[in-house]
């Protein structure tokens, strides 16, 4: 597929989606934008390439920027496969960096009973959001101890040394989102942009 065809297909799909999110019919968008129903249909089926003025009218009616209509699927998101994750072992426990863009990281942790995962802390200002999906997690940071049961979450200062432990004699599973406010932690690679 050449670039013009790719942009046309992308524009068609994104315009249909934007209209659909509002529950609008073709006639509704035509009335709101001043663009004919037939022209909108031609754009949504990738049979014509609209002018910038036509795009501007449609976007004004939909209250979205033009860039939203021409964003390709790779600009909207990228799939990270668990099989490609950076996995580290901690005794019988594992941590897996699923995706990281230098400002945010998503980690999957499996913590065996009796194991502990120690972190020396990330750069200043870093936050961690932790969601426990199975078992009970204990997090020690400074003089504080947090006990987080399954389905609950914890917001944590990630820039301090902290330790994760299973609080019960069973496997604990949880996810961690690391949010870097300042510098990225050089210990971990960027996996996506």
Residue 57, pLDDT > 70, answer: yes
Q: How many helices (H) and strands (E) are present in the chain, helices listed first?
A: 6, 10
Note the residue count of the chain: 193
Q: Which residues pair with 162 in a beta bridge?
A: 119, 141
6 vs 58, residue with greater confidence: 58
Mean pLDDT of the 154-170 span = 96
Q: pTM (2 decimals)?
A: 0.67
CB 156 within 8 Å of CB 120: no
Predicted pLDDT of residue 182 = 81
Q: In what order do the strands lie in the sheet with 136-141?
A: 116-119, 162-166, 136-141, 144-149
Q: How do residues 22-51 score in pLDDT, each as one tens digit?
A: 999 999 999 999 999 999 999 999 999 999
Q: Would residue 9 be called left, alpha or beta, if left means φ above 0 and alpha means ψ between -120 and 50 degrees?
A: alpha
Mean pLDDT across the chain:
92
Q: How do residues 119-130 score in pLDDT, each as one tens digit?
A: 999 999 999 999
Q: How do residues 89-110 score in pLDDT, each as one tens digit?
A: 999 999 999 998 889 999 999 9
Mean pLDDT of the 158-175 span = 96
Predicted pLDDT of residue 192 = 59
């Amino acid at each position: 597929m050449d670039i013009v065809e790719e942009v046309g297909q992308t524009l068609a799909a994104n315009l249909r989606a934007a209209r659909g999110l509002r529950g609008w019919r073709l006639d509704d968008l035509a009335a709101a934008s001043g663009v004919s129903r037939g022209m909108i249909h031609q754009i949504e089926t990738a049979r014509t390439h609209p002018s910038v003025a036509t795009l501007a009218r449609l976007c004004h009616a939909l209250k979205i920027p033009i860039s939203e209509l021409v964003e390709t699927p790779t600009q909207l998101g990228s799939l990270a496969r668990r099989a490609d994750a950076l996995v580290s072992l901690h005794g019988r426990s594992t941590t897996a960096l699923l995706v990281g863009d230098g400002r945010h990281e998503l980690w999957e942790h499996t913590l065996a009973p009796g194991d502990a995962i120690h972190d020396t802390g990330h750069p200043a200002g870093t936050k961690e959001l932790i969601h426990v999906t199975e078992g009970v997690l204990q997090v020690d940071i400074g003089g504080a101890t947090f006990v987080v049961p399954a389905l609950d979450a914890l917001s944590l200062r990630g820039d301090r040394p902290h330790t994760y432990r299973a609080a019960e004699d069973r496997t604990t599973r949880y996810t961690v989102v690391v949010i870097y406010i300042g510098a990225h932690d050089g210990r971990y690679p960027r996996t996506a942009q």
